[in-house]
């Protein structure tokens, strides 16, 4: 299938929307709003040169980050909740989005980093295609929750160079309780396998900059160490011990996390250490850890 045909197919999937695994069948192309609160217009909250991503994404010149408004998940601890849940942002056309990407490239960034892009997959594929026709030639990073449909990822194969997905849960009860979806584990695992099939292990060039591949993020949640260990087991046993992992310690209570006792405090040093020791026990040596 040509890139143009894939973009067309992605747009048609929003007729009765099935862009994400929620498949809420809302007629987005007629302007209706889905469970993710997205309709047929693109909303972004900001774009900038970001210096805080993992080393091969940030490099010396930064990552050209574009934050998309709304989200397919409803995480009670979301640190970006004004954007993801409260809809902060402004409308941009596909043409403007394309221009933003080219403008970021002009600033010298190492990549275009699309944050929470899933629900805008069709518009993003079109914007990237148009930008590439006008000279965009840096890697495209799909920085997502990992709650993705394999069918959509297949249509994004020509658009994306680096997948930067989360593995949030290995327990559907926790996924439902904290993010409002009952099938995160199966969906996420199938998506991660598809990402690895497409792009393989993260490739880092001689200048220490990521060029293509998959980098998986896992944020350790307080009171949920078993969830973390099962997530790491999956990566080691069903993907590869070569997989690059960003083990994140940056949890802090936000949004509705105070409704859950275990999420009301910060992550403890011991919990993060236990997660890190387990990572090493599984011989998962590629990636980055954070100071707690
Ligand atoms: S992307 Fe949004 S509108 Fe489409 S299926 Fe998912 S939640 Fe529904």
Query: What are the domain boundaries of the chain?
Result: 3-219
The model's confidence at residue 163, banded by pLDDT at 50, 70 and 90, is very high
CA separation, residue 83 to residues 65, 125, 171, 227 (Å): 14, 21, 26, 26
Mean pLDDT in residue range 222-227: 95
- Closest protein CA for atom 5 of ligand 1: 23
What was the pLDDT predicted at 16?
A: 97
Q: Which atom of ligand 1 is nearest to the CA of 35?
A: 7
The model's confidence at residue 290, banded by pLDDT at 50, 70 and 90, is confident
Q: Which of 18-27, 267-276, 283-292 has the lowest mean pLDDT?
A: 283-292
- Closest protein CA for atom 4 of ligand 1: 17
What was the pLDDT predicted at 291?
A: 76
- Judged against a pLDDT cut of 80, whether residue 292 lies above it is answered with no
Percent of the chain with pLDDT over 90: 98
Q: In sequence order, which residues have a C-beta less than 8 Å from that of residue 215 and are 6 or more positions away?
A: 54, 56, 57, 162, 163, 164, 202, 244, 245, 246, 287
The model's confidence at residue 157, banded by pLDDT at 50, 70 and 90, is very high
Burial 44-82 (b: 16+ CB within 10 A, else e): bbebeebeebbebbbbeebbbbbbbbbbbbbbbbbbbbe
Whether 38 lines ligand 1, by a CB cut-off of 6 Å, is yes
Whether 222 lines ligand 1, by a CB cut-off of 6 Å, is no
- Closest protein CA for atom 3 of ligand 1: 34
Whether 230 lines ligand 1, by a CB cut-off of 6 Å, is no
Ligand 1 centroid – CA 136 distance (Å):
28
| pTM given for the model | 0.97
Most informative mutation of 36, 69, 181 for ligand 1 (most atoms within 8 A of CB): 36
DSSP β-bridge partners for residue 248: 219
What was the pLDDT predicted at 209?
A: 98
Percent of the chain with pLDDT over 70: 100
Ligand 1 centroid – CA 18 distance (Å):
6
What was the pLDDT predicted at 46?
A: 97
Euclidean distance between CA atoms 47 and 115, whole angstroms: 10
What was the pLDDT predicted at 43?
A: 98
Beta strands in the chain (DSSP E): 42-50, 63-68, 90-92, 112-115, 140-144, 162-165, 203-204, 210-219, 244-248, 287-289
Average pLDDT score over the chain: 96
What was the pLDDT predicted at 21?
A: 98
Q: Which atom of ligand 1 is nearest to the CA of 33?
A: 3
For the segment 81-132, what is each residue's pLDDT rounded down to a tens digit? 999 999 999 999 999 999 999 999 999 999 999 999 999 999 999 999 999 9
Whether 164 lines ligand 1, by a CB cut-off of 6 Å, is no
Ligand 1 centroid – CA 56 distance (Å):
31
Ligand 1 centroid – CA 242 distance (Å):
33
- Closest protein CA for atom 2 of ligand 1: 36
Question: Yes or no: is domain 3-219 CATH 3.40.960.10?
Answer: no
């Amino acid at each position: 299938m040509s890139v143009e045909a894939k973009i067309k197919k992605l747009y048609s999937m929003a007729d009765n929307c099935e862009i994400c695994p929620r498949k809420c069948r809302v007629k987005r192309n007629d302007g209706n709003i889905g469970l993710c609160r997205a309709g047929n217009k693109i909303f972004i909250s900001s774009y900038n040169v970001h210096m805080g991503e993992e080393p091969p994404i940030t490099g010396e010149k930064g990552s050209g980050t574009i934050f998309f408004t709304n989200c397919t998940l409803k995480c009670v601890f979301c640190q970006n909740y004004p954007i993801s849940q409260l809809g902060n942002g402004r409308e941009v056309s596909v043409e403007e989005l394309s221009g933003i990407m080219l403008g970021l490239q002009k600033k010298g960034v190492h990549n275009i980093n699309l944050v929470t892009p899933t629900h805008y997959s069709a518009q993003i594929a079109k914007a990237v295609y148009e930008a590439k026709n006008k000279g965009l030639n840096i890697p495209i990073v799909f920085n997502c929750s990992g709650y993705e449909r394999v069918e959509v990822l297949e249509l994004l194969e020509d658009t994306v160079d680096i997948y930067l997905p989360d593995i949030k849960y290995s327990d559907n009860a926790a996924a439902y309780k904290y993010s409002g979806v009952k099938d995160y584990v199966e969906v996420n695992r199938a998506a991660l396998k598809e990402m690895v099939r497409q792009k393989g292990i993260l490739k880092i060039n001689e200048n220490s900059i990521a060029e293509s591949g998959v980098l998986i993020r896992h944020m350790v949640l307080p009171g949920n160490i078993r969830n973390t260990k099962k997530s790491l087991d999956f990566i080691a046993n069903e993907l590869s011990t070569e997989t690059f992992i960003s083990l994140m310690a940056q949890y802090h209570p936000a949004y509705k996390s105070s409704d859950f006792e275990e999420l009301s405090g910060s992550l403890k040093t011991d919990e993060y250490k236990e997660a890190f020791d387990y990572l090493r026990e599984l011989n998962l040596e590629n990636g980055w850890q954070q100071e707690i």
